[in-house]
Amino acid sequence: MIWILLPAYNEEDSFPPLMEKLRVTLTELGAAWKVVVVNDGSKDGTAKVLAGYGGAIPLEVLHHKYNRGLGETIRDGLEYIAERAHPDDVIIRMDCDDTHEPKYIPEMLRKLDEGYEVALPSRFQPGGGQVGLDAWRTFISYSANLLFKLWFPIKGVREYSCGYRAYRASVIQDGLAIFGNKFIDLKGLGFTGTLEKLIKCRMMGVRLVEIPFVLRYDQKQSVSKSVARLTILGCFVLFVKHMRWWGAEGQRWKQACEERMRRMRDARLAPVRVRE
Of 74-78, 146-150, 209-213, 215-219, which gets the smallest average pLDDT? 146-150
Which position has the higher pLDDT, 115 or 242? 115
Quote the CA–CA distance of 255 and 240 in Å, as a whole number: 20
Quote the CA–CA distance of 144 and 232 in Å, as a whole number: 9
At residue 225, the pLDDT reads: 55
Q: Does domain 2-267 have CATH number 3.90.550.10?
A: yes
3 state SS for the chain: CEEEEEEECCCCCCHHHHHHHHHHHHHHHCCCEEEEEEEECCCCCHHHHHHCCCCCCCEEEEEECCCCCHHHHHHHHHHHHHHHCCCCCEEEECCCCCCCCHHHHHHHHHHHHCCCCEEEEECCCCCCEEECCCHHHHHHHHHHHHHHHHHCCCCCCCCCCCCCEEEEHHHHHHHHHHHHHHCCCCCCCCCHHHHHHHHHHHHHCCCEEEEECEEEHHHCCCCCCCCHHHHHHHHHHHHHHHCCCCHHHHHHHHHHHHHHHHHHHHHCCCCCCCCC
pLDDT at 62 over 60: yes
Of 106-115, 148-157, 164-173, which gets the smallest average pLDDT? 148-157
Backbone phi and psi for residue 267, each to the nearest 5 degrees, phi listed first: -65, -55
pLDDT at 174 over 70: yes
pLDDT tier at 276, thresholds 50, 70, 90: very low
Q: How many CB atoms lie within 10 A of CB 167?
A: 30
Quote the CA–CA distance of 51 and 195 in Å, as a whole number: 32
At residue 275, the pLDDT reads: 44
Q: Which of 209, 204, 25 is nearest to 121 (CA)?
A: 209
Which position has the higher pLDDT, 136 or 276? 136
The full set of domain ranges for the chain reads: 2-267
pLDDT at 274 over 50: no
Percentage of the chain beyond pLDDT 70 is: 92
Q: Which of 87, 11, 64 is nearest to 187 (CA)?
A: 64
Report how far Cα 16 is from the mean position of its chain's Cα atoms: 21
pLDDT tier at 230, thresholds 50, 70, 90: low
pLDDT tier at 270, thresholds 50, 70, 90: very low
pLDDT, the chain, mean: 89
Report how far Cα 251 is from the mean position of its chain's Cα atoms: 26
Percentage of the chain beyond pLDDT 90 is: 66
Strands 165-168 and 118-122: antiparallel
Of 56-60, 171-175, 207-211, which gets the smallest average pLDDT? 56-60
At residue 140, the pLDDT reads: 79
Backbone phi and psi for residue 7, each to the nearest 5 degrees, phi listed first: -80, 130
pLDDT at 160 over 80: yes
Instruction: Give the pLDDT mean for 56-81.
Output: 93
Q: Which of 178, 202, 5 is nearest to 85 (CA)?
A: 5
Quote the CA–CA distance of 203 and 220 in Å, as a whole number: 33
Of 141-145, 185-189, 199-203, 207-211, which gets the smallest average pLDDT? 185-189
Quote the CA–CA distance of 188 and 191 in Å, as a whole number: 9
pLDDT at 224 over 70: no
Quote the CA–CA distance of 191 and 231 in Å, as a whole number: 6
Q: pLDDT, tens digit, for every residue of 120-156?
A: 999 999 999 999 888 888 887 888 888 888 888 998 8
